[in-house]
A and B are shown apart, each in its own frame.
Chain A
């Protein structure tokens, strides 16, 4: 019998989500006026549905694997083996961006994100990536702030960007 650890983990994850939804639903009020149902009714239905679906997925995972799923072997999908570094660089870029944007500003956070993502896709030219990222982020920043009046943080570049941004 084919058994995939990932499928089992995902099935149990869905099941856990359903239990979580059900648990939070239990704390919601149930009074609902004329309808006779309150704000907890649909959450209860959704929670029960997710629990049921998680159990169904788990049943499939333990009895021969999910039906009609994509092949586990990357080569069978016409792809290469999992590239952990690529995945990690993109994640790191997004977290750095999250941390920097409110503090260092939109442009600097954008440059860091751009360089990290490009690195994750195998770029070996960080200087080029920083340059392109800077032109792009600065262009987008000025376009949104000056033309569309959308507020974006200027951060450390505030002295250079003057009145633009917040």
Chain B
């Protein structure tokens, strides 16, 4: 009931004309940039961050919620109409959506993605509204030791458990942790790894790292290995309306996908990749038309797209209630919060209830804006897709450099950006995931603070992490996640 009252007050904030305007601007820009091929949600959020520099915190966060949702939807449009998925979470959609488009059914594919995103996003936001106060109640009992152990759990799941290689995932994480150390130590004021460079004393900015890895690195990679490949944009023929049959096949998929996507978003499971594939597999198993899968089955678009959006909303649960980002995009959002001096977590729900609930209310509004805006504007998004690569990447880099330069008006940040670009190129080429590095940069300093606070409270007794029951549980789960798969692999290898 309390949450309900808070939410009503939140709607009061979100529905203010000026905030509604920021929501509209955010969704439109997010979709526009998200549609651009090669630009995923993380880069979209990072590139649009400078635009909010002069807004009040509430307006800025509402605009960000819009950008976040818009970027997700924009990505699915690209995947359906172009055969190259922008991010791993879109691969499942690419399987069926692009086939549908090739068969002249691009309209219904886009419609089921848009309406499915709306349904899943709204249901997931309801789940967020109900779940967040419960997590906050629990989190208020957490001390520094619990937080630290929870962060260790998040570090390990995003880097070591998922992905193709444990060692490369961990390497990415530790490089991010190293970047997080650069700058002034928040506890003692001791400069670390700054080598007397003024720009480095402020630390490595998450926007510079994300834009360097995702924009500069991607531009270098595409120019080097893909610039001579030709891509075909599928035409939008016929009606975008879904037939009765399409509706009947889509809605159960939307609901099932929401049930899969939201829980996966709330745990640190590395973003939307797993739930989208899981949803695809479930739909393929349950479908009455399994023969259509691989040739353009509408359930194969409806499910993964809904799962993607539900998990994007689920990610906001740990981000808002605990201050823990579980995807690269969430890490950048957390960086944006920090720019305003806002530290998400249970205390924020008490100290700045207006802002948090205004943000949650704006998620409901954002979903509606997305639905009313995107289907009518689909023609524009299709045009955006046909921008030639040379113009596209040149424009992306002009914006990328602007974001970095506006931090200190200094070329040093541009050099840092280029170095991160080289790093991003190498990571892409040699198959090292970039997400853990971004999460490590943002979460590392927070984990260090909690670690040192926990030890201060215990007077230097390091067993505190194991003697506190909640903290010990987190560490035990973390250890199990690492050891069990390793034991399974070993016993398999021995049997073979």
Q: Hey, which bits of chain A sit against chain B, CB under 8 A?
A: 6-7, 10, 14, 17, 21, 24, 28-29, 32-39, 41-43, 46, 49-50, 53-54, 56-57, 60, 66-70, 74, 77-80, 82-84, 86-87, 89-91, 93-95, 97-99, 101-102, 106, 110, 113-115, 117-123, 129, 132-133, 136-137, 140, 144, 148-153, 166
A-B contact pairs, 22 of them (CB 8 A): A21-B178, A21-B193, A32-B452, A35-B453, A42-B451, A49-B177, A50-B178, A57-B168, A69-B165, A69-B430, A74-B225, A78-B229, A80-B228, A83-B228, A94-B414, A94-B421, A97-B414, A101-B401, A106-B402, A110-B398, A132-B391, A137-B398
Of B167, B175, B395, the residue contacting A56 (CB under 8 A) is B167
> In the complex, are the beta carbons of A42 and B426 less than 8 A apart?
no
> In the complex, are the beta carbons of B426 and A10 less than 8 A apart?
yes
Where chain A touches its partner, the secondary structure class is helix
Q: How many residues of B contact A (CB 8 A)?
A: 67
B54 at the binding interface (Cβ < 8 Å): yes
Closest to B421 in A: A94
Given contacts A80-B229, A89-B223, A101-B405, contact A113 B414 (CB under 8 A): no
Contact partners of A122 in chain B: CB under 8 A: 227-228, 390
> In the complex, are the beta carbons of B418 and A117 less than 8 A apart?
no
Closest to A124 in B: B390
The stretch of B134-142, B181-189, B303-311 that contacts the partner chain: B181-189
**Which of B187, B224, B410, B417 is packed against the most chain A CB atoms within 10 Å?**
B224
B156 at the binding interface (Cβ < 8 Å): no
Of B167, B219, B456, the residue contacting A35 (CB under 8 A) is B456
> In the complex, are the beta carbons of B228 and A98 less than 8 A apart?
no
Q: In the complex, how many angstroms separate the beta carbon of B159 from the nearest chain A beta carbon?
A: 11
Q: Hey, which bits of chain B sit against chain A, CB under 8 A?
A: 50-51, 53-54, 164-165, 167-168, 170-171, 174-175, 177-178, 181, 185, 187-188, 190, 192-193, 216, 219-220, 222-229, 389-391, 393-395, 397-399, 401-402, 405-406, 409-411, 414-415, 417-418, 421, 426, 429-431, 444, 448, 451-453, 455-457, 459-460
Given contacts A34-B459, A66-B168, A87-B223, contact A144 B418 (CB under 8 A): no
Q: In the complex, how many angstroms separate the beta carbon of A65 from the nearest chain B beta carbon?
A: 10
Can you list the 5 inter-chain pairs with the closest CB atoms, starting with the nearest?
A36-B460, A86-B223, A121-B390, A35-B455, A117-B394
Contact partners of A6 in chain B: CB under 8 A: 430
Of A35, A39, A153, the residue contacting B409 (CB under 8 A) is A153
**Which of A43, A74, A152 is packed against the most chain B CB atoms within 10 Å?**
A43
Given contacts A34-B460, A87-B220, A113-B401, contact A50 B430 (CB under 8 A): no
Of A56, A82, A97, A148, the residue contacting B225 (CB under 8 A) is A82
Of B164, B393, B405, B426, the residue contacting A117 (CB under 8 A) is B393
Given contacts A37-B455, A57-B167, A57-B171, contact A69 B223 (CB under 8 A): no
Given contacts A82-B225, A118-B394, contact A68 B418 (CB under 8 A): no
